Structure 1
Amino acid sequence: MKSTVVLFVLALIVATVSAAALGESNAERMARGLPPRAPRKLYSRATGVEASKPKPSSKPPPSCSTGPIQCCQSVEKASNPAAALLLGLLGLVLGPNVEVGLTCSPLTVIGIGGGSCSATAVCCEDNSHGGLISIGCIPITL
């Protein structure tokens, strides 16, 4: 009889402590002056099912030996009326068959990966005119 009572009391204590411990938040513990509990791991990482790392592309990104790749709104011959007007205003004299990029901005490495050039990607010999016009441009594929 004594052992039954002892086992019953022990089971009651274990049930009470475990029920109180599971329902108590760290905020409640800290409000009573107790230290917070260690974080519980709510998930387990599955082995072999982990996301694979992206593999580098076998194709190197395009590059220009004359400076950064440019994204131009249009690429025209220097004889084109719009290009000729800009060249004249800047005091530049070019041959009629020289390709020029109009309204250009440089592409960054991030931009190349994201394909952010919605116009024409080019490699130009002279990008020193503030993005208004780039001279000696060759279209490239990103």
Structure 2
Amino acid sequence: MFSKLSVVAVSVLVTLAAAMPGGYTPPVTTPTSNQCCSSVQSSSSNVVSAVAGLLGLDLSGLNVPIGLGCSPITVLGNNCGGTQVTCESPEKEWGSLIAINCIPITL
């Protein structure tokens, strides 16, 4: 049941993202912000495209890892519970939904 619901939810997000006009293409710079992300995926994945589309971001042509559900790591050794990465710091208007150019780190 859960997998069917996931497929439907992703399909709806992809459809919404495809219907939205192209948006702002964020610049790719050197990552400087330690983040804890729920997942890190290719910038060309369907889920990333859907989230980026909802935020008005155009990631087409970018070939960098994208962090989803990210929050800053402020204390060394904290229990991340996700993937520890160094990313470009997410813009405030993106909330914690997406971070650009995420490279795995070990703290």
Query: Are 1:113 and 2:64 an aligned pair?
Result: no
Distance apart, 1:65 and its partner CA: 6.3
Residue 101 of structure 1 aligns with which residue? 67
Query: Are 1:71 and 1:106, in contact at CA under 8 Å, matched by a contact in 2?
Result: yes
Number of residues paired by the alignment?
75
Identity rate, percent: 52
TM-score (structure 1 length as normaliser): 0.48
Larger Rg, first or second structure (1 or 2): 1
Kindly report the root-mean-square deviation, in angstroms, between the aligned alpha carbons of the 2 structures. Answer: 1.8
Give 1:5-44 correspondences, 5 Å limit. none
Task: Output the CA distance in 2 between the equivalents of 1:135 and 1:102.
Answer: 9
When residues 88 and 65 of structure 1 are mapped into structure 2, their CA distance, relative to the original with a 3 A threshold, is closer
Q: Which has the higher strand share?
A: 2
Query: Are 2:31 and 2:102, in contact at CA under 8 Å, matched by a contact in 1?
Result: no
Higher relative contact order (CA 8 A, sep 6+): 2
Give 1:1-142 correspondences, 5 Å limit. 66-67=32-33, 69-94=34-59, 95-109=61-75, 112-114=76-78, 116-128=79-91, 129-142=94-107
Query: Are 1:77 and 1:96, in contact at CA under 8 Å, matched by a contact in 2?
Result: no
Task: Output the CA distance in 1 between the equivalents of 2:49 and 2:31.
Answer: 26
Distance apart, 1:113 and its partner CA: 2.3
